[in-house]
Amino acid sequence: MYIRGGAQILVLAALVAVTGCVTTTEGGFKADRKEEVARRVDAATQYLEKGNTEQAIVHLRRALEIDPRSAPVNETLARVFAQSGEYELADQHFRAAIEAEPGFSRARNNYAAFLYGRGDIDGAIAQLEKVVADTLYEKRADAFSNLGKAYLRKGETAKAEEVFDRALKMDRRQAPAMLELADINMQRDQVAEAARVYALYRKASARPSSRSLLLGIRIARATGDRDAEASYALQLKGLFPDSEEYRSYQAMPPAR
């Protein structure tokens, strides 16, 4: 009897040990799956940045099989489809990402950019309003700048100006907001303020755009700074000879 009982105890001990191993293995298995999803998303993002959407999808397909509701997987997949011009699929996956993780501000910000590009300005504003409400989002100042652009697109200049000011309070080197504010002031014939803000933009911006150079030409002409106007015109011709802005400059009447 003693031996039989001892055997039973040994069997029970073995079962407990096995059960404990299974629990640990399952936990490790879940962790491994989560890590693989993260690795797949990182790999897909790198391929996407290189323009290789096919290889990006290879990794995302596997990640989606592991976790169909993963917000990062769906958000990255949405960007892949947006880049390849499959807009309905992009929209579906952006929505899936936000539904799975409503506080995923990066997904909302990228979805807003997608909607803005598709002409859905109201949709972009709705997403960006939620993004800027996330006080811990690391790119909140950028989101405020994007929100300002969306309000400008709707013709709501006062709201746009307020939002651009918010962006600059968060990031004094927020060049896109500076450019828009300089343009707004120029449209109002507030030349001195436009010139002041444009000078700040020039210091904050690493590389001019065709739009910024044309605005610089307009401001320089309004302030009578012929040297600056000539410099901006030369850059516009050299960097963006086929741009709409250069054609606009060529169509401008001669300076008085």
36 located within any domain: no
| Dihedral sign for Cα atoms in the order 227, 232, 238, 244 | negative
Q: What is the pLDDT of residue 5?
A: 45
DSSP 69: T
Q: How many domains does the chain have?
A: 1
pLDDT tens-digit profile of 128-164?
999 999 999 999 999 999 999 999 999 999 999 999 9
> Does the pLDDT at position 251 exceed 80?
yes
123 located within any domain: no
String of DSSP letters for 188-239: TT-HHHHHHHHHHHHHH-SS--HHHHHHHHHHHHHHT-HHHHHHHHHHHHHH
- Report the CATH number that the domain containing residue 256 is assigned in CATH: 1.25.40.10
Residue type, 11: V
For residue 244, give every residue at least 6 positions away whose Cβ sits within 8 Å of its Cβ, in sequence order, or none: 210
Residue 248's domain spans which residues? 172-256
183 located within any domain: yes
Q: What is the pLDDT of residue 16?
A: 34
Q: What is the pLDDT of residue 28?
A: 56
pLDDT tens-digit profile of 61-90?
999 899 999 999 999 999 999 999 999 999
pLDDT tens-digit profile of 176-194?
999 999 999 999 999 999 9
Please, which pLDDT band fits residue 255 given cuts at 50, 70 and 90? confident
Which pairs with CB-CB distance under 8 Å and at least 24 residues apart come from 111-117?
111/78, 112/143, 112/146, 112/150, 113/146, 114/78, 114/82, 114/90, 116/146, 116/149, 116/150, 116/153
Report the b/e string of 140-159 with b at 16+ CB within 10 A: bbbbbbbbbbbbbeeeeeeb
Q: What is the pLDDT of residue 11?
A: 34
229 located within any domain: yes
10 located within any domain: no
Cα(228)–Cα(133) distance, integer angstroms: 40
Q: What is the pLDDT of residue 29?
A: 52
165 located within any domain: no
232 located within any domain: yes
154 located within any domain: no
Cα(207)–Cα(223) distance, integer angstroms: 23
